[in-house]
Amino acid sequence: MQKNRIIILGNGGAAISAARAARTAGHRGEIHLFSDTTESAFNPMLSPYYFKGKVSWEGCFPFGEDFYRNHEITCHFGIPVANLDATRQQVTLTDGRMFSYDSCLIATGASPVMPPVPGLRESTRALPLRSAASARKLEEAMQTARRVLIMGASLVGIEMAEVLVKRGIAVVLLDIADQILPRSTHLSVAAILMKYLESHGVDVRLGYSMQRMEETKDGVACHFADDVIEEVDFVVCSTGVRSNLGFVNRDKVKVELGVLTDDRMRTNVENLYAAGDASQAFNRVTGQQDWMGTWGNACYQGRTAGQGMAGREAFFPGSLPENISPLFEWNYAQLGDIQPTTGEVRHLACGDPERGGYSLLAFSDGFLTGANLINCTHLAGKLHGAILRKWRCESVIGVADGDFTEAAVEDILDECTASC
């Protein structure tokens, strides 16, 4: 039975999973949880479902307030962490109080990146979507809006476009890249999805960047090149997120996009762990430590860290960047690395989104590295497994993409999913 003091910084999926795992693993000592929020753990991925009316506001806090009491966790809410002294094993809050620890988890999550557009960051009508507070602001803004601009055609941006369209609000969705979902979707798949969005009335503009933004009497004016001005009620910023690590001394703790971790979610500093969106963990496709950012991964990583802090040996086997979401009436999944940069790269596609689904598979030297699936997301879990297992298809090596018939690609897909 461990009786040491565990400190958990953060109050999201990773933090809660860590606290629960530590108790389940037999930790009987103190657990202190620190958060700058004042509510129980909020799940940011549920916000679009709340806007769509699929979950109540209370449902966006899936662990409830009882969790902390039931797991004997001392909460320190509403006060941000000012400094983490990893050498002395001490945490200092912004109100000056200090807490020492035997083991500590950094699970502070991530915050939206607001693009450096003049006038945007100062505006109260430029709204990101991440925290409970930001979801409340967006909900309030949507009540009276008639026209909205979304910056960033990420999955969050597209989900917000769906929410707005379904509420009868006109949407302009723009991205600086020349395709929607530029990070993890193949150009051809992005084109299909874009056409689908447009068929629902979303005004998609690519290769488009805002030059400045100014508030007007009842909205904002967004200025673009060639004197194009878009007047909207507010702007949704879905241009990515950045790990919340302002309190971490980067001379001591290794940080890239997030805190670098090993297969037990340990950092380079003894007794210090990191998990969830604040960390980078093992990506089984690239072999690198990457930011993976899904709720499931965050919870798995948090659980691993919690077990480790309680003295039990546990491992995070690695995963891959991936996401899945319903988009209007369609379902879309993106897995792994869709644009491998090494080896002989092959992209094979088959199917039809409206008839059984459309799949695109990416290979590097015959190894499956990624997949995009429209309306055949039932294959997602099997393909996820195949990518992790480094499933290899000999027949795609040395053959041009165009030499594969639709039936041949279907056979490859069958072979891949049957191997699971």
Partner 1 sequence: MTEYTLFFDASRCSGCMACVVACQDQNDLVTGDTVAFRHVNQHEEGTYPEVRIALHSGSCQHCVDGPCLLACPMQAIWRRPEDGTVLVNRDICVGCHSCELACPVGAPKFTQDGKMAKCDLCYVRRDHGMKPACVRTCTTGALVYGPIKEISEKMREKASIRMLKGLASLSE
- Between 12 and 219, name the residue whose CB sits nearer to partner 1: 12
Distance CA 22, CA 33 (A): 13
Q: How far is the CB of 244 from partner 1 (least distance, A)?
A: 20
Residue placing its CB nearer to partner 1 in the complex, 273 or 300: 300
Residue choice 37, 268, 339, 417 for contact with partner 1 (CB under 8 A): 417
Q: Which of 11, 35, 40, 43 binds partner 1 (CB under 8 A)?
A: 43
Binding mask 291-310 for partner 1 (x = CB under 8 A): ---xxx--xx--x-------
In whole angstroms, give the CA distance from residue 304 to residue 263: 9
| Burial class of residue 178 in the structure, from the number of CB atoms within 10 Å of its CB (0-12 exposed, 13-18 middle, 19+ buried) | exposed
Of 59, 118, 246, 356, which one interacts with partner 1 (CB under 8 A)? 59
Q: How far is the CB of 134 from partner 1 (least distance, A)?
A: 17
Rule CB under 8 A: say whether 54 interacts with partner 1.
yes
Question: CB-based contacts of 419: which residues, under 8 Å, 6+ apart?
Answer: 386, 389, 391
Contact 368, 362 (CB under 8 A): yes
Q: How many alpha carbons lie under 13 Å from residue 93 in its C-beta half-sphere?
A: 18
In angstroms, give the least distance from the CB of 303 to partner 1.
7
| Residue 69 or 212 having the CB closest to partner 1 | 69
Count of CB atoms within 10 A of residue 91's CB? 23
CA–CA separation, 233 and 381 (whole Å): 40
For the segment 348-407, give every residue that binds partner 1 (CB under 8 A). 377-382, 384-385
- Judged by CB, which is closer to partner 1: 272, or 305? 305
Computed from CA positions of residues 275, 276, 281, 282, in that sequence, does the dihedral angle turn out positive or negative? Answer: positive
- 225 belongs to the binding site for partner 1 (CB under 8 A): no
Confirm or reject binding of residue 49 to partner 1 (CB under 8 A): yes
Query: Minimum CB separation from partner 1 for residue 44, in Å?
Result: 9
Which CB sits closer to partner 1, 219 or 351? 351
Count residues near partner 1 (CB under 8 A).
38
Residues near partner 1, by CB under 8 A: 13, 17, 43, 45-46, 49, 54-55, 59, 62-63, 294-296, 299-300, 303, 322-326, 331, 333, 335, 377-382, 384-385, 414-415, 417-418, 420
